[in-house]
Structure 1
Amino acid sequence: MYSIRSDVGNLIKEKRIKSGLSQEAFALLAKVDRSYMGRIERGKANISIELLYKLAFVLNCEVFELLPKSTIKLID
């Protein structure tokens, strides 16, 4: 089953790794619990728009870079 959470989580993880941040360091900078950050990256947690903006700020990128380019798939 398709999940936009998984796509967003993967994009966040890719940006974090490219930024050279460990998950723990990233969570600390974003003021988010490390285990919650792990759930976000694995697509197991819904995040608010506010948190998405905060993560983009920490990653020094635009919010749209953390969103899938196209979501044409049907969600069950």
Structure 2
Amino acid sequence: MKDLSKQIGLAIREHRIAKSITQERLALMCDIDRSYLGRIERGEVNITVVKLSQIAQILEISIKDLIP
């Protein structure tokens, strides 16, 4: 399960960087703390499906693009 969290976090980070969005800006848009977003991107926490969907919408990608 830990590997899945890391893969999802890495995908979020890659798409965020590709869109030139800072971690702080994405966190504000998702209404979460920047440090929590950092933990998501490092795969240290299990993200909810609702929050994953919200991040995908903000990044203008399909939720499928974030799940390996």
* TM-score between both structures, scaled by the size of structure 2: 0.95
Q: Which has the higher helix share?
A: 2
Q: Gapped runs of 5+ residues in structure 2?
A: none
Task: Summarize the alignment of residues 22-33 of structure 1 with structure 2, pairs less than 5 Å apart.
Answer: 22-33=22-33
Runs in 1 of length 4+ with deviation above 4 angstroms?
none
Q: Gapped runs of 5+ residues in structure 1?
A: 69-76
What displacement does 1:30 show? 1.1
* TM-score between both structures, scaled by the size of structure 1: 0.85
Paired position in structure 2 for 1:52 = 52
Does 2:43 correspond to 1:43? yes
Aligned sequence identity (%): 39
Q: Match of 1:50, as an amino acid? A: V
Q: Match of 1:55, as an amino acid? A: I
SS of 2:46's equivalent? Answer: coil
SS of 2:61's equivalent? Answer: coil
Task: Summarize the alignment of residues 56-75 of structure 1 with structure 2, pairs less than 5 Å apart.
Answer: 56-68=56-68
Instruction: Give the number of the structure whose alpha-carbon radius of gyration is greater.
Output: 1
CA deviation vs aligned residue, 1:45-69 (integer Å, no higher than 9, x gap): 101100110000110110000111x
User: How large is the Cα RMSD of the aligned pairs?
Assistant: 0.9
Equivalent pairs counted in the alignment come to 67
Paired position in structure 2 for 1:9 = 9
